């Protein structure tokens, strides 16, 4: 039995080490491209016809600011079409109808589009709108983002080659300083954009459209077969189909769009679970073709990591379950010391991601030093997500039935958010947190202090996400209370 435990534990370490090597690869590219000049983007000379698509579902608390930011885009009205792709089943539709009527009176070419169903969810709405779109280019914004007036004029010149299918902007954050949770999310997303997206683009690897804050060439979407609703990551799915057909996606690290981070633990987990499930579905769909393609071997490795990276959460969960037992075997000298010397080798991989997070903060912010302590939150919450994300990954691989759960915005209320109140995941997280904390006390008593940071991150991540999820369910403000609190803020 002990041998089996050691074999499983070692396999978990190997999996995590494999993905951690990717962090070092990106760090290598970071220094390789560090002195590379930014793209010299030309100014827009002609104004192509652009359709702005706003896919929404029950966004009554944020729809006003979204439409306001879009109609304030600095672009000729005669060359701009706005589609509000509204799949809502609450009063959002009435609000949209009133706003659209008001903007139409101001001579905006804006349309309130209702399909009568949610078939295909966001992908279905985007495809439905695409078939009616007048523009040769399609800009997409989710409800929690606020494009600046110069967005189109700044981004469209990046279509400087007929092979450019899309252009993606970097995300910035409206509410990153609200809590440790939002600060940790901001750092995680900064790392994705400032390190992963930028370096993949510079190295010529596949990158992905992030679902919002980007512009597509309509011809490229059609050439790749349009939007598909068979995964929960319709953006990643289309990105790979487009690039496998030799189109290119440009990432603009020099231009950002402000967006709202999930304000509480339940919203955060809903978002992360959807991304995890959708990504593994995209891996199942595209990996065989990617591996058979003619792209370089290093690009195939990068695509493999890109599409399967959420497997990390399964390994993290396994490590959480086995680590207290491994600690016991070490303290009681039941297993020879050479095994633990061997296992310690894999800790090299644990340094890559924190250093990446540091580099992304230094790259983006003059005051990066004050943000560094929040890197601990990124690590802890990533560990804490291992229960809910593991569940999402297993569902995504074995169950292809999709149920799209939108991320509740700050101040929003959705049926998806309320219906999760019977989930036992937060209670499992708390039990695991207590289990790991007991192991933490055990190692302190037995003066195995080298293990303290590892167990501390785990216990905090599980206990924090579990507690905050239960707190959100028990003490969530009602819709009227939320509306008042937003209006008074």
The answer to whether position 378 is within a domain reads yes
Give me 331's structure tokens: 């303290």
Nearest to 64 by CA among 90, 94, 96, 101: 96
Cβ-count burial of 264 within 10 angstroms (0-12 exposed, 13-18 middle, 19+ buried)?
Answer: buried
What is the total residue count of the chain? 489
CA distance 375 to 355: 9
Shared domain for 326 and 453, answered yes or no, is yes
> How far, in Å, CA of 252 to CA of 142, rounded?
18
Q: Which two tokens stand for residue 209?
A: 């459209």
Residues 27 and 54 in one domain: no
Q: Is residue 39 part of a domain?
A: no
Query: How many whole angstroms separate alpha carbon 112 and alpha carbon 100?
Result: 7
Residues 6+ apart with CB under 8 A from 275: 232, 233, 310
pLDDT at 400: 62
pLDDT at position 63 is 96
Looking at the structure, tell me whether residues 144 and 285 fall in a common domain: yes
Residues 476, 480, 483, 489: is their CA dihedral positive or negative? negative
Rounded to whole angstroms, the Cα distance separating 482 from 177 reads 20
What is the pLDDT, as a whole number, of residue 412? 39
Residue range 83-120, pLDDT digits in tens: 999 999 999 999 999 999 999 999 999 999 999 889 99
Question: What is the domain extent for residue 369?
Answer: 2-31+309-488
What is the domain count for the chain? 2
CA contacts within 13 A on the Cβ side of 136: 9
Low-confidence ranges of the chain (pLDDT < 50): 411-420, 477-489
Both 318 and 393 in one domain: the answer is yes
pLDDT the model gives residue 409: 64
Q: At what angle do helices 452-475 and 265-292 cross, to 10 degrees?
A: 120
| Sequence-separated (6 or more) residues with CB below 8 Å from residue 219 | 136
Name the residue among 414, 442, 481, 478 with its Cα closest to residue 144. Answer: 414
**Using alpha carbons only, how large is the chain's radius of gyration in Å?**
23
Predicted confidence at residue 484, as pLDDT, reads: 33
- For residue 161, tell me if it sits in a domain: yes
Q: Which residue numbers are catalytic?
A: 87, 235
- How confident is the model at residue 414, as a pLDDT? 40
Residue 296 lies in a domain: no
Q: At what angle do helices 386-398 and 375-384 cross, to 10 degrees?
A: 50
Q: Where are the alpha helices (DSSP H) in 172-310?
A: 180-191, 198-203, 218-223, 234-243, 265-292, 297-308
């Amino acid at each position: 039995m002990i041998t089996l435990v050691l074999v499983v534990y070692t396999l978990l370490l190997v999996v995590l080490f494999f993905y951690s090597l990717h962090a070092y690869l990106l760090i290598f590219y970071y220094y390789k491209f560090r002195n590379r000049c930014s793209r010299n983007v030309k100014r827009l000379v002609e104004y192509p016809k652009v359709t702005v698509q706003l896919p929404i579902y029950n966004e009554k608390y944020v729809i006003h600011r979204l439409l306001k930011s879009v109609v304030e885009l600095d672009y000729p009205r005669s060359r701009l079409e706005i589609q509000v792709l509204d799949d809502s089943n609450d009063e959002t539709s009435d609000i949209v109808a009133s706003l659209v009527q008001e903007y139409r009176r101001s001579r905006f070419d804006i349309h309130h589009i209702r399909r009568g169903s949610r078939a295909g969810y966001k992908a279905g709405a985007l495809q439905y709108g695409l078939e009616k779109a007048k523009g040769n280019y399609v800009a997409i914004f989710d409800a929690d983002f606020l494009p600046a007036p110069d967005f189109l004029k700044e981004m469209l010149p990046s279509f400087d080659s007929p092979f450019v299918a899309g252009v993606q902007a970097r995300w910035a954050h409206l509410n990153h300083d609200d809590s440790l949770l939002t600060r940790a999310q901001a750092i995680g997303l900064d790392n994705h954009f400032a390190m992963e997206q930028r370096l993949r683009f510079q190295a010529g690897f596949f990158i992905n459209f992030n679902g919002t804050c980007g512009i597509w060439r309509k011809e490229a979407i059609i050439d790749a077969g349009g939007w598909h609703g068979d995964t929960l990551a319709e953006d990643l799915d289309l990105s790979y189909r487009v690039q496998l057909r030799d189109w290119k996606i440009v990432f603009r690290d020099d231009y950002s769009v402000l967006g709202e981070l999930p304000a509480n633990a339940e919203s955060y987990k809903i978002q992360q679970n959807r991304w995890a499930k959708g990504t593994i579905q995209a891996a199942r769909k595209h990996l065989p073709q990617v591996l058979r393609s003619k792209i370089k071997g290093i690009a195939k490795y990068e695509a493999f990591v890109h599409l399967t990276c959420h497997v990390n959460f399964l390994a993290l969960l396994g490590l959480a379950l086995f680590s207290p037992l491994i600690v016991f075997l070490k303290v009681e000298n039941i297993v020879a010391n050479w095994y633990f010397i061997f296992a310690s080798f894999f800790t090299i991989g644990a340094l890559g991601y924190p250093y990446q997070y540091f580099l992304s903060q230094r790259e983006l912010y003059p005051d990066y030093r004050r943000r560094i302590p929040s890197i601990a939150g990124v690590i802890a919450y990533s560990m804490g997500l291992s229960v809910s994300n593991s569940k999402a990954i297993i569902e995504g691989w074995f169950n292809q039935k999709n149920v799209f759960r939108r991320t509740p915005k700050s101040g929003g209320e959705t049926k998806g958010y309320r219906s999760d109140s019977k989930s036992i995941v937060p209670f499992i997280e708390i039990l695991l947190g207590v289990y790991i904390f007991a192991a933490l006390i055990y190692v302190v008593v037995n003066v195995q202090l080298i293990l303290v940071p590892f167990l501390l991150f785990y216990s905090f991540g599980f206990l924090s996400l579990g507690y905050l999820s239960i707190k959100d369910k028990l003490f969530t403000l009602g819709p009227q209370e939320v509306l008042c609190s937003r209006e008074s803020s």
